[in-house]
Structure 1
Amino acid sequence: MSEKNWKLLDGLSNEDFVAVDLETTGLDPKKDRIMEIGAVRVEGGQVTGEYQQLVNPGCPISGLVSGLTGITDEMVRMAPSIGEVLGEFLSFCKTLPIVGHQVMFDYRFLKRAAVNQGESFERSGIDTLALCRAFMPAEEKKNLAAACAFFEIERDQAHRACSDAWDAARLYTQLARSFAKERPELFVPKPLIYKVKRDQPASEKQKEDLRYFIKYHKISLPVRFEELSRSEASRLQDQLILQYGRIRQKSRKD
């Protein structure tokens, strides 16, 4: 982007952060997957890096999500998995606090992904949604688009991760310039708390059954069997049975 040398903050203590946004296959980090990561790194008030990466979620993307984000199964089919890009992304973030609009949503997905890859991801963060609730009129909508419009921040492409990360960075900057001296305690990064256990991998029988089901029905799905958890494999099997029906046992040759 042309804003690599964009001066974000002047005379503010919190000049170091990473603005992060994700696009995901759904809203539940226990069931859904990351399909795009976008981030903007700011150090000393200067943009020092931008990160954007499509991610193969290893499961189908619904028509509703594709319609909202513009991301399709075909777009992510050859993209790397979260396990292949997570280390690179964590290195990009360094140990900086995270800024995001409803930042806990993104943090939950990222921490679950990190734990499943054997990585640690303990961070502090600042939620621009919480700041908007503190400083915008009660009657105003406070989603990212509405907040940017209220503060006259020009947006790029909505519902794509990197563009939304830039918007969150711009929004945070505007809020900090306007209100940090008035309420400095609201601009101090606070620990992000989310406890999560590593998912159990899918069993060999689950993967074998899914492979056979997909082959039998001639289904084309961007599924990475080696990355499925037990619960994901079970949910995917239920979804496929609901959509295509069960296989008659006599049709299967062992």
Structure 2
Amino acid sequence: MSGEIFAGFRVLGFDLETTGFDVRRERIVEYALVGSEVDGSRINLQSLVNPGKRIPIDSTNVHGIKDVDVKNSGDFSEHITNISRMIEGAIIVGHNVIKFDWKFLEMECLRAGVEVPRPRAIIDTYVIARKLKIPGRHTLGILCDKYGINLENAHRADADAGATLYLLWEIMKSYPRFFRGTIDDLQDSLAGIRNQDILGPSLVDLEPVSGSGGNLRINNSNIVIAFGKYKGRTLEEIKKKDSRYLKWLFSPSSPIPKSVSEEYSRKYLN
């Protein structure tokens, strides 16, 4: 998954198929997590799940999964360890994921008596499409058609999860300004805290601090770090959030040249 905003994170498309729509009564029958690791290596975790109840014919007509298909697939408790390992700390991308898929995952974790995994962020392409007021209906199928994405085997978890990643990429190319800033900026914007006009310039648009090799950049009166886990954050923010990291940043083991480190350490470490 390309895109400066997601650099340094595991990025996964996430989708579920279920026995129905009522999160309190229905169960998961299939899940998929597809995408890439931080190093770019491919991830494809998917499986059928035995829901412990009959799959209604109306649901089978949507996703094609029958009782016989899930008979030997194990119940959700047998899958949660692998699911949690992948989701923990990752950027999760889904279509209507916040109101549907994630709610089902939370309920299944509650039933299994395990903690809900904690992703770094959940990015919902349905919410993005509405936020950007993309013309037309915002179903996954219609949006994929609009952006020329081939959605074969629609309503199977792996196909929908993969298509959602491609959809996000196409939207990012069409609306690049909306995705400038950090992952936290994007989440704030989707939550209505900020809007796309104040997400700020891209790091590549900011003037580098002289002698920093581009690792530090100037945004008005603020100095912004352009690499690592706090990429896109100001030194003032890092000072308040993680003073140990700031000390490392100005240490000899940091990629910041010594002359620049000495200048800024006097200001931010005292």
1:66 lines up with 2:66 in the alignment: no
TM-score using structure 1 length: 0.66
| Equivalent pair of 1:100/1:128 in contact (CA under 8 Å) | yes
Letter in 2 for 1:133: R
1:103 lines up with 2:97 in the alignment: yes
Letter in 2 for 1:13: I
> Which of 109, 113, 132 is equivalent to 2:108?
113
| Equivalent pair of 1:9/1:173 in contact (CA under 8 Å) | yes
Larger displacement relative to structure 2 (44-53 or 164-173): 44-53
Displacement of 1:185 after TM fit? 6.4
**Residue in 2 that maps onto 1:144:** 140
| Equivalent pair of 1:131/1:186 in contact (CA under 8 Å) | no
2:5 match: secondary structure = coil
CA pair 149-23 structure 1, distance change in 2 beyond 3 A: same
1:13 match: secondary structure = helix
Displacement of 1:183 after TM fit? 5.0
Displacement of 1:47 after TM fit? 5.0
Structure 2 unaligned regions, length at least 5: 189-270
Distance 1:44 1:174 in 2: 20
1:163 lines up with 2:159 in the alignment: yes
**Residue in 2 that maps onto 1:184:** 180
CA deviation vs aligned residue, 1:25-81 (integer Å, no higher than 9, x gap): 011111100000011132348353111100000001111111111100111111110
| Equivalent pair of 2:18/2:27 in contact (CA under 8 Å) | yes
Displacement of 1:135 after TM fit? 3.1
1:22 match: secondary structure = strand
CA pair 162-142 structure 1, distance change in 2 beyond 3 A: same
Distance 2:5 2:151 in 1: 26
Pairs aligned (count): 184
Distance 1:93 1:60 in 2: 28
Distance 1:173 1:161 in 2: 19
Distance 1:176 1:90 in 2: 27
| Equivalent pair of 2:14/2:94 in contact (CA under 8 Å) | yes
Structure 1 unaligned regions, length at least 5: 1-7, 192-254
1:13 lines up with 2:5 in the alignment: yes
1:43 lines up with 2:37 in the alignment: yes
2:13 match: secondary structure = strand
Distance 1:161 1:109 in 2: 14
Distance 1:51 1:43 in 2: 12
CA deviation vs aligned residue, 1:108-137 (integer Å, no higher than 9, x gap): 111111222232224431110011123354
Higher RCO (CA < 8 A, seq sep 6+) = 1
CA pair 19-47 structure 1, distance change in 2 beyond 3 A: farther
Letter in 2 for 1:26: G
1:91 match: secondary structure = helix
Displacement of 1:90 after TM fit? 1.1
Tell me how large the CA RMSD over aligned residues is.
2.5
- Greater CA radius of gyration, 1 or 2? 2
TM-score using structure 2 length: 0.62
CA pair 182-79 structure 1, distance change in 2 beyond 3 A: closer
**Identity over aligned residues, as a percent?**
27
CA deviation vs aligned residue, 1:228-251 (integer Å, no higher than 9, x gap): xxxxxxxxxxxxxxxxxxxxxxxx
Distance 2:91 2:49 in 1: 23
Displacement of 1:142 after TM fit? 0.8
Q: Which runs of 4+ in 1 moved over 6 A?
A: none
Larger displacement relative to structure 2 (168-177 or 40-49): 40-49
